[in-house]
């Protein structure tokens, strides 16, 4: 894949739309190269058709490790799972948030209202939902069991994208255009800037069990961690990333990142420098990620689907 395909940023409102335009441009370049190469090596086909590159069909893989969940989506973005096993996804193109109850095959719509290109999603330990309502420049909270959303008192947001909540109820949002991450401390109306090393297109956020905060620093092709109680971030030892855009942390503090341009999901084992690739098949621009306490991994990709990798999979260490 073209390693620079997400560096150029176009003008549409949604950050996802900008990414889609970048993908389309990169695919057209690849198609042109394939077509010219095919002509030079093999000549034209009898029908005169040119070669083309498409995303792999979900049914193309002979043996899939993952399951495709029964959502019907248009431009999905964030995904999350609560402790009861209910799965939530931001259906951005349809301006809604859907829930797939545990053990069900029928999604239901959550009672958010007035959404405009919603992006990131988080679930706290109590089952409350948080959504970055991107084009409305706000962050919403839907308390567990409630029917009415609450707008959190963030101010000055320009393009809120990622959102996460730590164990004490502090809420964090990545403001994409301002290249910063903001924290709204629990029970406070005053936001503070989180002291990450200069960011370039911060997308996804996550928090670990010790309340460390992680950001997918997409434009810098890295993942940063700010341990709780410190002001000095750490660059995690992922290598070869190409537009990492969402990040998740499991109960054991293993870190997962969607490596969008490389069509893969990587895992950094807690307390080590060991990075492994999860055995998803045929991923196309993975865009959102969540991990359960049991180790199940959920991923959104650009084919409008949510994939589930059950715990017990065999990841492949990089370099082998």
Instruction: Give the model confidence (pLDDT) of 173-198 as tens digits.
Output: 999 999 999 999 999 999 999 999 99
- DSSP structural state of residue 26: H
End-to-end CA distance of the chain: give it in Å, rounded: 21
**Both tokens assigned to 192:** 């503070």
Closest CA to 115 of 89, 87, 92: 92
Closest CA to 250 of 282, 290, 202, 307: 290
pLDDT at residue 114 in the model: 99
Query: What pLDDT, in 10s, does the model give residues 111-149?
Result: 999 999 999 999 999 999 999 999 999 999 999 999 999
Query: What pLDDT, in 10s, does the model give residues 152-178?
Result: 999 999 999 999 999 999 999 999 999
What gap in Å lies between CA 5 and CA 218, rounded to an integer? 12
Please give the full DSSP string across 89-158, using - where no structure is assigned.
EEEGGGTEEEEE-TT-S--EE----S-SSEEEEEE-TTS-EEEEEGGGTEEEEE-TT-SS-EE----S-S
Give CA angle at 82 (76, 85), nearest 5°: 95
Give CA angle at 71 (65, 72), nearest 5°: 125
pLDDT at residue 16 in the model: 57
Chain-wide mean pLDDT for the chain? Answer: 86
What gap in Å lies between CA 192 and CA 179, rounded to an integer? 14
What gap in Å lies between CA 285 and CA 287, rounded to an integer? 6
Closest CA to 202 of 232, 160, 165, 242: 160
What gap in Å lies between CA 308 and CA 314, rounded to an integer? 14
Please give the full DSSP string across 47-70, using - where no structure is assigned.
T-PPP---PPPTT--SS-SSEE-S
Domain coordinates of the chain in residue numbers?
A: 1-54, 67-317
**Both tokens assigned to 287:** 């865009």
Produce one character per residue of 227-250: b if its CB has 16 or more CB atoms within 10 Å, e if not. Answer: eeeeeebeebebeebbbbbbbbbb
What gap in Å lies between CA 120 and CA 204, rounded to an integer? 7
The CATH number of 67-317 is 2.120.10.30
Query: What pLDDT, in 10s, does the model give residues 248-286?
Result: 999 999 999 999 999 999 999 999 999 999 999 989 999
pTM for the complete prediction?
0.84
What gap in Å lies between CA 284 and CA 267, rounded to an integer? 18
According to DSSP H, which parts of the chain are helical? 15-42
Measuring CA to CA, how many Å separate 247 from each of 64, 134, 243, 254?
A: 23, 18, 12, 11
């Amino acid at each position: 894949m073209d390693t620079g395909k997400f560096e150029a940023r176009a003008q549409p409102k949604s950050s996802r739309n900008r990414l889609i335009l970048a993908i389309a441009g990169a695919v057209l370049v690849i198609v042109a190269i394939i077509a010219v190469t095919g002509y030079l090596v093999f000549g034209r086909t009898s029908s005169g058709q040119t070669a083309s590159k498409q995303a792999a069909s979900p049914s193309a893989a002979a043996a899939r490790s993952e399951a495709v969940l029964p959502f019907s989506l248009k431009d999905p973005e964030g995904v999350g799972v609560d402790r009861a096993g209910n799965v939530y996804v931001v259906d951005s193109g349809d301006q809604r948030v859907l829930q797939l109850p545990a053990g069900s095959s029928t999604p239901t719509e959550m009672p958010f209202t007035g959404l405009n290109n919603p992006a990131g999603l988080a679930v706290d330990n109590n089952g409350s939902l948080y959504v970055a309502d991107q084009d409305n420049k706000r962050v919403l909270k839907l308390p567990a069991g409630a029917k009415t959303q609450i707008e959190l008192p963030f101010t000055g947001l320009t393009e809120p994208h990622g959102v996460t909540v730590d164990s004490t109820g502090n809420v964090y949002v990545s403001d994409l255009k301002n290249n910063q991450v903001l924290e709204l401390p629990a029970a406070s109306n005053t936001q503070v800037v989180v002291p990450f090393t200069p960011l370039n297109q911060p997308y996804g956020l996550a928090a670990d069990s010790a309340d460390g905060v992680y950001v997918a620093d997409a434009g810098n092709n890295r993942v940063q961690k700010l341990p709780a109680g410190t002001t000095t971030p750490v660059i995690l030892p992922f290598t070869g990333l190409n537009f990492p855009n969402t990040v998740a942390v499991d109960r054991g503090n293993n870190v997962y990142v969607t490596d969008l341009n490389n069509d893969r999901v990587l895992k950094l084992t807690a307390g080590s420098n060991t990075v492994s690739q999860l055995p998803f098949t045929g991923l196309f621009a993975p865009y959102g990620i969540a991990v359960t306490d049991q180790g199940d991994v959920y991923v959104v990709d650009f084919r409008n689907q949510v994939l589930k990798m059950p715990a017990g999979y065999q990841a492949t260490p990089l370099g082998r």
